[in-house]
Chain A
Amino acid sequence: MKPLQHYVRKKQINIRTPAWSVFLLLLIHFVFFTGCVHYVSYYNAITYKNLADLKGEMGVAFEIFSLEGASGENDLNTLEGFRIKIAQAREYESGKKLNDNTIAQFKILDENIREIIDRFKENANQLSAGYCKAKWMILESAFDIAITTERGKIEKKQ
């Protein structure tokens, strides 16, 4: 009968062969790509709803602004209301882990609405219809990108 060391030595030699290395590498890749490990937050219905609601509400307001422009206290309050809602949604996103992409997208949406309000105030509380029309084209595309990003995330298994 051969001593135990013989088998142990033989096993160690086998593990070091290229075939074993390749198998282990494939196993690691399989575990990684099948979702056992992921680096992006899960799909979140609240995020999706926040984005869809904001897009809908802002779409209606900017449709009107695109015809007549925006002016006066009421329109400023409407714009400020959007800024608050975007800031709240951005805070919600900041609280989630592995969510850098959506946080960065909300930051751009936030900067956009601030830019609109700043221009409104600098321009004696008014915005031209053309500017509102063009700005909505940008915002609509921005919301679509953020919504598609959220839709592309994996749903968490219950």
Chain B
Amino acid sequence: MSDINEFLETLLKDTSEFAAGELKTLIENAKSDSNVFIRQIGDLTEEFIKMRAQGEINNDEFKELMEDLVDLGKMEKYKLKSDAKVKAEKIANGIADLVLKKLIILI
């Protein structure tokens, strides 16, 4: 398995309620952003989904890690020289929101 789609399919094999496409687009957009921090948020989200799908972490740990991404967004906002601090915080919040409010209750 190497694609985010496959990991999401593994996680969501018993349900079709989650808008996997929406999350996939958010992650792909983040991973191709010009800002280093936003790319990192995309990479970390993908890695945590992969780890959850492979059973390396449980649901509760996955939830904590997604909340940590929101905290990273806050830390980036406190940085003095950041070219996209507001955008970075919004993307981190958007991804975490989608995962925490929709994905986590289905897996």
Interface of A is mostly: helix
Q: Are B80 and A108 in touch, CB under 8 angstroms?
A: no
* Shortest distance from the beta carbon of B99 to any chain A beta carbon, whole Å: 14
CB-based A-B contact count at 8 angstroms? 72
Interface of B is mostly: helix
Tell me which residues from 62 to 79 in chain B have a Cβ below 8 Å from any Cβ of chain A.
Answer: 64-65, 68-69, 71-72, 74-76, 78-79
Q: Compute how far the CA of A119 lies from the CA of B65 in the bound complex, rounded to whole angstroms.
A: 13
What are the residues of chain A within 8 A of B14 when measuring CB–CB?
none
Closest residue of chain B to A40, judged by CB? B80
Q: Are A141 and B64 in touch, CB under 8 angstroms?
A: no
What are the residues of chain A within 8 A of B78 when measuring CB–CB?
100-102, 104-105, 145, 149
Q: Are A134 and B47 in touch, CB under 8 angstroms?
A: yes
* The residue from A111, A129, A133, A135 contacting B71, defined by CB atoms under 8 A apart: A111
What are the residues of chain B within 8 A of A15 when measuring CB–CB?
none
Q: Are B64 and A153 in touch, CB under 8 angstroms?
A: no
Closest residue of chain A to B72, judged by CB? A141
A112 within 8 A of B: yes
Give A residues with C-beta under 8 Å from B. Answer: 40, 100-102, 104-105, 108, 111-112, 115, 119, 128-131, 133-135, 137-138, 141-142, 145-146, 148-149, 152-153
